[in-house]
Amino acid sequence: MTIFLNFWVLPVLFILHDFEEVICVPLWKIRHRSMLDKMDKPFFGRVMNGQAFAIGVLEEMLILVIASIICSISHNYTLYLAFLVVYTLHFAMHYKMCFSIKNYVPGVVTATLQLPFMIWLIISYWILSETSIMRFLMYFIPVFFIVFVNLFIVHKMMPVIQKKLLAYAR
């Protein structure tokens, strides 16, 4: 099982999860447009263009790759653990969306498939890190803030990216 205890597992899991989103979100948004139009904050933002959504995913992926490089070079298990926990917590957003409309939402299938493995990874890295709750929180809080603020900014930028891509296509 040590093959899974390396710093590159999280970016791979992220890619698998976000492939579901990249493939399904544009079509899902077309299918559920009338429901999404009634929402103040529609799921996955206001972007309909798959390429614009994929650029946002790429930017998030680069953050995880950089974090994995830093953790790999420094052997910082606690920092990696913080990223694992934040990634796993983001599954709750998929479940919340899914339960609120009582229907499939892109990302919920891979979130469900990955959840048991993520729990195992979190437990394993907690043991490997030999960290305290306070030390973990010192990493977790900034990572949580960085990831979720970045997610907010990316979702604000995607409509701008979509406009630029559509202008380029003309």
114-128 residue pLDDT tens: 999 999 999 999 999
pLDDT tens per residue, range 71-117:
999 999 999 999 999 999 999 999 999 999 999 999 999 999 999 99
Best CA proximity match to 83, nearest among 64, 70, 110, 103: 64
Query: What are the backbone dihedrals phi and psi of residue 89, each rounded to the nearest 5 degrees, phi first?
Result: -60, -30
Domains of the chain: which residue ranges? Answer: 7-39+47-169
Spell out the long-range contacts of 63-66 with Cβ–Cβ below 8 A and sequence spacing 24 or more.
63/146, 63/147, 63/150, 64/10, 64/11, 64/14, 65/11
Contacts of 119 (CB under 8 A, 6+ apart): 88
Average pLDDT value for residue range 49-55 = 84
Query: Which tokens go with 165?
Result: 């891509």
- Whole-model pTM: value is 0.92
Distance CA 6, CA 116 (A): 17
Residue 1 pLDDT exceeds 70: no
User: How confident is the model over 62-69, as a mean pLDDT?
Assistant: 96
Residue 70, token pair as written in the block:
């830093």
Q: Is the predicted pLDDT of residue 48 greater than 80, yes or no? A: no
Q: How far apart are CA 22 and CA 15, in angstroms?
A: 10
